[in-house]
């Protein structure tokens, strides 16, 4: 997710503007009940799925344009409700707009449909083969549980919503209670833009409240669920989806600690202790550490911490206090921070601060602690569980005796990211094994740099093995994200007039297609590299 420099966020305006306050009052009706939302989404499902791809792409562009046009109304409300800095919110809104535009191009191109055509072949190697044509179709209505820490990019009009709409699935958005006013305003923009673009009524709807979200997830008219949030809540929702009479796919992005490993030669490639410390603290403290890709652990060779101590402390002390998103985040962060500081053998490198106001909002500065590897191993979940906020743990290990590759599955069974700092020309079996292990236990492996920065681009993978996500073959960022809301169907020996346009002779939809011609099977296995 996008990282931006940490700013001091003063008390936000009490209201975005007079117009914003009026609009919120007028648009309370944008919120509907779970049952009504499911009924309307079900009614919209077939006409929306059958909508011409170009029209659907135009609708995504209309939403993008409307959000960009209303930035001056939306951002001030986000400031007040989340405490995030204005620069961060405007950048995140721009990311949301760009993401919608990327999906519009993806829908128009049509390659995501994965069209495969096997021509009828009476001479097929295993007996006569019928004409077979396969592509991907929308699964149906999706209930999307919005995130708190990205009030634009992973909330009402964020990645999951954009992906589901691009796939041709109506969306029921369960708003996050951390920014309700912004959710209603954003939903109003989305509903209006989709309607003006000619999309069916019920293509997008907003519901509020935990009970409503669960009711929607259980509704037989809902075909899939998506979620970004805590491990506990995500697991509970995943269990509901799996225990339905007819289970449905559920795609949850949950907890991640995103370890960073520095080899003996890696400190030099990182630019030295000062550069490594500055980048590390900036990544940990960005947006008050409320990022799913925040580096929770930094592994350094024995003796390296002596070089890092002072620059880490200096960088952390230069970070101004930042408000956490809402009181529940504050209480959770305080509890995790107290637990970590209470573990025997934990040494504060930068003590950090927490100040809680009368409303329960927390204002924090980064806390960085260090431990040796034996302490980490013996402490278990007291140290290994995610600390959602500006806290990270530096771990010293002995390169001569530590098998980092073997530690990865033991300590980090699933993570969104993992990072390696190695020497510019460093090569060894141990390093190869470490990289291989990380590729099996993380969705994105970085070589240098910091994980708090997720490019919205076709090749991005933002997912990982449990507990990072509930489905390690999916991503919630990038064009592959819409594949979560599609399923394959094949047509056998169908008359051309009965086929969807993407599968007809002559390819009237001009989509990329993989074709297996008649006669090909007799030469299978004869191709040499």
Which positions are catalytic?
253, 292
C-alpha of 30 from chain center: 26
Contact 167, 485 (CB under 8 A): yes
346 torsion bin: left (phi>0), alpha (psi -120 to 50), beta (else): beta
Separation of alpha carbons 366 and 361, rounded Å? 16
Helix extents (H) in 148-285: 159-167, 180-196, 210-218, 231-243, 266-269, 273-285
Show Cβ contacts of residue 400 under 8 Å, excluding neighbours closer than 6 positions. Answer: none
Burial of 97-126, coded b for 16+ CB within 10 Å and e otherwise, reads: bebbbbbbebbbebebbbbbbbbebeebee
Cα–Cα separations (whole angstroms), residue 475 to 27, 218, 416, 468: 33, 24, 10, 11
Q: How many residues does the chain have?
A: 529
Which of 34, 322, 19 lies closest to 173 in space, CA to CA?
34
Separation of alpha carbons 166 and 168, rounded Å? 5
The token pair at 336 is 């995790």
Show Cβ contacts of residue 11 under 8 Å, excluding neighbours closer than 6 positions. Answer: none
Cα–Cα separations (whole angstroms), residue 107 to 166, 190, 373, 450: 6, 18, 48, 31
Separation of alpha carbons 110 and 346, rounded Å? 53
Which of 356, 294, 325 lies closest to 78 in space, CA to CA?
325
Query: Would the CA dihedral through 304, 306, 311, 316 be positive or negative?
Result: positive
Which of 460, 467, 456 lies closest to 446 in space, CA to CA?
460
Contact 261, 421 (CB under 8 A): yes
Which of 115, 113, 132, 114 lies closest to 518 in space, CA to CA?
132
Show Cβ contacts of residue 240 under 8 Å, excluding neighbours closer than 6 positions. Answer: 214, 217, 218
Burial of 436-474, coded b for 16+ CB within 10 Å and e otherwise, reads: ebbeebbbbbbeeebbbbbebeeebbbbbbbbbbbbbeb
The CA angle 205-207-208, to the nearest 5 degrees, is 155
Residue 84 exposure: Cα atoms within 13 Å on the Cβ side: 30
Q: Map 428-449 to HEC letters.
A: CHHHHHHHHHHHHHEEEEEECC
């Amino acid at each position: 997710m996008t990282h931006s420099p940490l700013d001091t966020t003063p008390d936000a305006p009490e209201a975005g503007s007079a117009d914003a306050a009026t609009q919120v009052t007028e648009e309370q009706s944008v919120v509907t009940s779970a049952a009504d939302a499911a009924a309307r989404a079900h009614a919209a499902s077939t006409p929306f799925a059958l909508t011409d791809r170009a029209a659907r792409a135009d609708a995504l562009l209309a939403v993008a344009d409307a959000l960009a046009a209303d930035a001056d109304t939306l951002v001030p409300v986000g400031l007040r409700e989340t405490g995030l800095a204005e620069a961060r919110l405007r950048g995140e809104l721009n990311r949301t707009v760009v993401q919608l535009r990327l999906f519009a191009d993806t829908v128009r191109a049509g390659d995501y449909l994965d069209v495969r055509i096997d021509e009828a072949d009476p001479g097929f190697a295993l007996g006569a083969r019928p004409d077979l044509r396969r592509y991907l179709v929308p699964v149906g209505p999706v209930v999307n549980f919005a995130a708190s820490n990205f009030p634009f990019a992973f909330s009402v009009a964020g990645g999951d919503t954009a992906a589901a709409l691009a796939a041709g699935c109506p969306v029921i958005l369960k708003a996050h209670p951390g920014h309700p006013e912004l959710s209603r305003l954003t939903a109003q923009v989305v509903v209006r833009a989709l309607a003006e673009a000619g999309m069916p009524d019920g293509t997008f709807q907003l519901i509020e409240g935990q009970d409503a979200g669960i009711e929607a997830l259980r509704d037989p008219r809902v075909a899939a669920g998506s979620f970004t949030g805590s491990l506990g809540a995500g697991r509970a929702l995943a269990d509901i989806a799996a225990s339905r009479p007819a289970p449905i796919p559920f795609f949850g992005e949950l907890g991640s600690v995103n370890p960073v490993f520095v080899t003996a030669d890696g400190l030099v490639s990182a630019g030295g202790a000062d550069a490594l410390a500055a980048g590390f603290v900036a990544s940990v403290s960005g947006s008050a550490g409320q990022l799913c890709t925040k580096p929770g652990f930094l592994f350094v060779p024995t003796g390296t911490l002596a070089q890092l101590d002072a620059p880490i402390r200096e960088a952390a002390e230069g970070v101004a206090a930042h408000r956490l998103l809402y009181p529940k985040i504050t209480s959770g962060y305080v509890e995790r921070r107290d637990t970590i500081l209470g573990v025997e053998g934990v040494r504060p490198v930068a003590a950090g601060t927490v100040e809680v106001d009368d409303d329960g909002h927390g204002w924090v500065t980064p806390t960085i602690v260090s431990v040796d590897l034996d302490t980490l191993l013996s402490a278990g979940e007291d140290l290994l569980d995610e600390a959602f906020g500006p806290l990270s743990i530096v771990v010293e290990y002995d390169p001569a005796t530590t098998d980092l590759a073997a530690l990865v599955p033991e300590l980090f069974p699933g993570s969104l990211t993992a990072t390696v700092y190695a020497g510019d020309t460093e090569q060894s079996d141990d390093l190869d094994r470490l990289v291989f292990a990380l590729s099996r236990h993380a969705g994105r492996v970085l070589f240098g740099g910091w994980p708090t920065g997720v490019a919205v681009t076709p090749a991005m993978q933002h997912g990982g093995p449990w507990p990072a996500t509930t489905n390690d073959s999916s991503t919630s960022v990038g064009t592959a994200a819409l594949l979560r809301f599609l399923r394959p169907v094949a047509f056998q020996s169908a008359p051309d007039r009965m086929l969807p346009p993407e599968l007809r002779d002559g390819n009237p939809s001009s989509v990329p297609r993989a074709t297996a011609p008649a006669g090909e099977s007799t030469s299978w296995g004869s191709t040499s590299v």
